[in-house]
Amino acid sequence: MDIDRAMKNPASTFATPEALSESSELTAEQKRTVLLQWKDQLQQLHAADDEGMQQNDAVASTTDDLLGRVTSILSRIDADLKRVSTSG
């Protein structure tokens, strides 16, 4: 897997946030970094939609759903990393 490509465009490397989460090729920190990038990109799309630059409701709904899933997985990884750092 090309980590640089995943960082630039997570959706081009992983079909879903869940696929990224389940990847055995990335460390938890790498997953977190890629998810943060994905979240940022989705937030930019959401902002563009709010500004009327995107008129497709289906795309906006998909973006919102994906953003929620990315955020949820990111929270889980953050909790796991915190648990590991406090127990170790």
Q: What is the pLDDT along the chain (88 residues), one digit of tens a residue?
A: 788 999 899 999 999 999 999 999 999 999 999 999 999 999 998 888 777 665 577 777 888 899 999 999 999 999 999 998 888 6
**Stated pTM of the model:** 0.86
**Cα dihedral angle (79, 5, 11, 49), rounded to 10 degrees?**
100
What tokens were used for 59?
């795309």
Neighbouring residues of 14: CB distance < 8 A, sequence distance ≥ 6: 6, 20, 23, 34
Please give the Cα distance from 34 to 32 (Å, whole number).
6
